[in-house]
Amino acid sequence: MTLTHESGHLIGGAASGATLTDYDVVPWRMPYSLHAPDPHPLVTLWAGPVLGVLFPLMFAVLVRRSWGWFIADFCLIANGGYLALSWISGDHFLDTPRLLAAGTHPLFIIVFCVLTMGLGYPWFRSDCVRVLTPHTDKTDEGVSEATEI
């Protein structure tokens, strides 16, 4: 999730003429990207959550495997949840306070969060049941079928 989200910020910044001054996408630290000057901060900022959702969804469509949808649906929840929680935290380094400071109307953030978490949660829950339920092969000794939940 963090890789596709932060890649979105990097792509959005590059596409809108922003100058990348620093970034970090190492998984064991909080990822970030800083752009200055950034002539279109709304493009740079929105590209993170939007592409953070679209990249995994496109990947899932291409691979057409349950684990692909598992990842994509998790990214839906994670991106929406991140915007919601960063709004609550109010930390001015996180995306939502920066989106609001750049002029995003709060309704756009609310709609994004409701759509991504509202769709992502039931899909991800279903994915968890499908992907994490042990499946047995009929060739296994002493086991004929997996127990359904």
Query: What pLDDT, in 10s, does the model give residues 45-71?
Result: 999 999 999 999 999 999 999 899 999
* Share of residues in the chain with pLDDT > 90 (%): 79
* 125 domain-assigned: yes
* pLDDT value, residue 27: 79
Residue with tokens 């590209």: 47
Q: Mean pLDDT, the chain, as a whole number?
A: 91
Whether 117 contacts 107, CB under 8 Å: no
List Cβ<8 Å contacts ≥24 apart for 82-89: 82/5, 82/49, 83/49, 83/109, 83/112, 83/113, 84/113, 84/117
Q: Is residue 98 part of a domain?
A: yes
Asked if residue 138 belongs to a domain, the reply is no
pLDDT greater than 60 at residue 144: no
pLDDT (tens digit per residue) in 88-120: 998 999 999 999 999 999 999 999 999 999 999
Residue 138 has pLDDT above 80, yes or no: no
Place of tokens 């349950």: 66
Judged against a pLDDT cut of 90, whether residue 84 lies above it is answered with yes
In a domain, 139, yes or no: no
Range of the domain at 96: 2-132
Task: Give a yes or no: residue 48 inside a domain.
Answer: yes
Is residue 60 classed exposed, middle or buried when 0-12, 13-18 and 19+ CB atoms within 10 A define those classes? buried
Q: Taking residues 16-26, what's their average pLDDT? A: 94
What DSSP state is assigned to residue 16? T
Is residue 143 situated within a structural domain? no
Identify the DSSP state of 18. Answer: P
119 lies in some domain:
yes
Which position has the higher pLDDT, 98 or 145?
A: 98
Three-class secondary structure of residue 129 per DSSP = helix
* 13 domain residue, yes or no: yes
For residue 140, the model assigns a pLDDT of 46
**Number of domains the chain is built from:** 1
